Amino acid sequence: MMFSKKYFDEILDSIEDDDMYEFADKLLETIPKYVYEVSASSTGKFHPDYAKGEGGLARHTCAVVRLLNHTFQIECMNHWSKKERDILRIAAMMHDSRKSGSQEDYEQNKYTKHEHPLLAAEVVRSFKGCGTIPDADIELIAQTIESHMGQWNVSDRSSVVLPKPETELQKMLHWADYLASRKDIEIQFEMPKKTKNVSVSTADWKFPFGKYKNMTFEEVLDYDKSYLIWLRDKADMEIREPLKSFLNNMP
């Protein structure tokens, strides 16, 4: 179950802007536990094998971001700004984050909610005014999420009519989500290994975020140890491995 959460680390690590990274990290805390546990499809009919079984929805989400990142490498498709690329990555990370509603909703009814794009978009909008990124960018992320179902925007189980993609951002997310759900397109995943007794090589491991992004742990220790102490003692911040072990064992 916890292994599946590691797939979202791959998404965070692809985000280019520090403020966007911080915002994505905050959004990550809103994702219900079931999203890391369940298959991408409640019936198993509509997704490829890698998106089935335990952790399937997390792998599907990661696959959408991988497809976006591959596209960003193509010369004729590389017209997206850094901000737009990060908006798409964050929208992809959140697009199915309310697939069955909240955790409480899921525990009562495990099937997909037709209006899940709207529910996820509202979670994103709830962060307006947080000051991490401009409200206009938060709104762009929410609008990009809302239309990710594309032409499949109605359901005989709901009166809600979802918006269809209109902007280039909306079309791009829908395209990546569509490809990630095709049964004849398989994406390879290795099960992330649970980290135990991490031995940090400061020559290899670098800060993935913040003002010292891409500096090694040891470089930051030499330059600004007080920052590392602050980071270690910050109660509301979840520190991931291998940085967690380094902070707990630094001289």
Residues 54, 78, single domain; the answer is yes
Residues β-bridged to residue 216: 206
Provide the pLDDT for residue 200.
39
Residues 221, 108, single domain; the answer is no
Residues 214, 108, single domain; the answer is no
* Per-residue tens of pLDDT for the chain, all 251 residues: 456 788 899 999 999 999 999 999 999 999 999 999 999 976 666 688 889 888 999 999 999 999 999 999 999 988 999 999 999 999 999 999 999 999 999 999 988 999 999 999 999 999 999 999 999 999 999 999 999 999 999 999 999 999 999 999 999 999 999 999 998 999 988 754 443 433 434 455 677 777 777 778 777 787 788 878 887 776 556 677 677 777 777 76
Tokens of 117: 């794009």
Provide the pLDDT for residue 236.
59
Residues 155, 243, single domain; the answer is no
Residues 74, 123, single domain; the answer is yes
Residues 169, 201, single domain; the answer is no
Total residue length of the chain: 251
Provide the pLDDT for residue 2.
56
Provide the pLDDT for residue 217.
77
Residues 228, 149, single domain; the answer is no
Residues 231, 111, single domain; the answer is no
Residues 147, 235, single domain; the answer is no
Residues 168, 65, single domain; the answer is yes
Q: Which domain holds residue 120?
A: 2-180
Domain count, the chain: 2
Per-position DSSP letters for 147-168, written without gaps between them: TTTTT---BTTBS--PPPP-SH
Provide the pLDDT for residue 100.
95
Question: What CATH number is associated with residue 155?
Answer: 1.10.3210
Per-residue b or e along 198-232, where b marks 16 or more CB atoms closer than 10 Å to that residue's CB: eebebeebebebeebeebbbeebbeeeeeebeebe
